[in-house]
Structure 1
Amino acid sequence: MLQPSTLKFLKDLKKNNNKPWFDAHRKQYEDARKDFETFIQAVIDRHAQKDDTIREQEAKKCIFRINRDIRFSKDKTPYKSNMGASINRGGRKSVFAGYYFHLEPGQSFVGGGIWMPMAPEMKKVRQEIDYCFDEFKKIVQSKKFTTIYGDLYKEDDMSLSRVPQGFDKDHPAADYLKLKSWIAMQSVKDADLTAKDLVKKTLMAFETLQPMVQFINRSLED
């Protein structure tokens, strides 16, 4: 579980997103980050018993910086009003698919997959789906997967308008071949963030996602 004070800090930061306020509340930030880090480490330690590819990962190296990159953004607020952790084989910046937890009051979610891979990796994932669609479909259309995630994220911003070149436009996997990211997400209510079973529910979400993560990463190993 996470502490209510962690959620309060993020809510307050969203209302006071400036350096003087942040500097005056740095202790609260450090406490909130430590709380989130403790939670993520507990998830890593437990889930690594099922997925040993993340066994070497440390929470502090999986968590994103609170500072925003504002160099090319019209929004010049200096800080994120959320905390995120990407738990991936090979580390947060690796090419492999993995698991993600997004902490943001009112907008938290758990899930993962692979986000906007580069062209060579994207081609490999699509080829694997093409070659082994029956297997992929069995994973993402299973009762357990659909109960937790519904389906992969298929909004327009993550999907091509047409089946990519090299694949039949009537391919049975067309909806998945058109994707530019293969991710699944489950919303987490604020009340659940501070509940005692948060680690347990997060582990269930990660375990459900694991077959898809393994499927994608298999395609990237060559």
Structure 2
Amino acid sequence: SELHEPFCDLVETLTERFAAAGLGLRGDRKKSLFRINRDVRFSNDKRPYNRHLSAILSPDGTKMEQGVFYVHIGLERCFSGVAWWQPSPELLLAMRNAIAARPEKYRALVAALKKNGLEFETEDRMKRTPRGFEHVTDSDLAEAIRNRHFYVQHAIDPAGIHSPALVDELVDFTLRAKPLLDWGRAIQGKAQ
């Protein structure tokens, strides 16, 4: 409770700031947060399910939409991310097709992110190129096509989580990651 309310305030403040910046991301105190506890009524293990607070701000304000901002404040680590995380098979195929068909746009995205001090994370990348994309031989494009997710991360200093400057830091990070949101939205057909 003593952590939950300030975290809810952070989500609401970020929603206001993201709207002012034209990022098209919003959240709410109830729908955006992940639960800390599981149902422990009949369990001998009463420990919390999660040892962190986390929330997603998305275009529709729910956790089900793609092209999101994620914030994670925990005992082990604190970070935020902008992601197309676990896109539907149709959207992932469309993203891969876009990389293969318009490599210059994908490379421009990578360059824009790099200019902003960001780069794609490679966690959970496929070992081999998916079927149907064997013709893509450029190593940078082949690696991109093997991605299951497209996301960038920003480490948050745990000492600064109580600082009002945290909101500015997260808004700045999200603005730097906006090319990723725009790229995915254009593919998804929801360009803003």
Shorter-chain TM-score: what band? Answer: 0.7 to 0.9
Alpha-carbon shift at residue 37 of structure 1 (Å): 0.8
More displaced, 132-141 or 31-40?
A: 132-141
Asked if the contact 1:64/1:85 (under 8 Å) is kept, the reply is: yes
Matched, 1:177 2:145: yes
Asked if the contact 1:106/1:190 (under 8 Å) is kept, the reply is: no
Asked if the contact 1:89/1:98 (under 8 Å) is kept, the reply is: yes
Question: Mind listing any 5+ residue stretches in structure 2 that lack a counterpart?
Answer: none
Which amino acid is the alignment partner of residue 97 of structure 1?
Answer: G
Matched, 1:113 2:83: yes
3-state DSSP of counterpart to 1:141: helix
Alpha-carbon shift at residue 82 of structure 1 (Å): 0.4
Question: Mind listing any 5+ residue stretches in structure 1 that lack a counterpart?
Answer: 1-29
Report 1 or 2 for greater relative contact order, CA contacts < 8 Å, sequence distance ≥ 6.
1
Match of 1:204 in 2: 172
Matched, 1:79 2:49: yes
Matched, 1:99 2:66: no
Alpha-carbon shift at residue 68 of structure 1 (Å): 4.2
TM-score by length of 2: 0.84
C-alpha distance 59-76 of structure 1, shift in aligned 2 (>3 A): closer
Q: 2:130 aligns with which of 164, 186, 201?
A: 164
Which amino acid is the alignment partner of residue 163 of structure 1?
Answer: T
**How many residue pairs are counted as aligned between the two chains?**
183
Asked if the contact 2:67/2:83 (under 8 Å) is kept, the reply is: yes
- Output the aligned Cα RMSD: 2.3
Matched, 1:45 2:23: no
C-alpha distance 119-76 of structure 1, shift in aligned 2 (>3 A): farther
Match of 1:5 in 2: none
In the TM superposition, what whole-angstrom CA distance separates every residue of 1:68-98 from its partner, at most 9, and x where no partner exists? 489xxxx984421101111111233334211
Alpha-carbon separation, structure 2, partners of 1:191 and 1:207: 23
More displaced, 208-217 or 85-94?
A: 85-94
3-state DSSP of counterpart to 1:62: coil
Alpha-carbon separation, structure 2, partners of 1:213 and 1:194: 27
C-alpha distance 99-69 of structure 1, shift in aligned 2 (>3 A): farther
Match of 1:216 in 2: 184
Alpha-carbon separation, structure 2, partners of 1:184 and 1:69: 32
Which amino acid is the alignment partner of residue 186 of structure 2?
Answer: R
Which amino acid is the alignment partner of residue 42 of structure 1?
Answer: T
Alpha-carbon separation, structure 2, partners of 1:124 and 1:208: 24
Identity %: 22
Asked if the contact 1:160/1:179 (under 8 Å) is kept, the reply is: yes
Match of 2:2 in 1: 31
Which amino acid is the alignment partner of residue 193 of structure 1?
Answer: I
Asked if the contact 2:18/2:24 (under 8 Å) is kept, the reply is: no
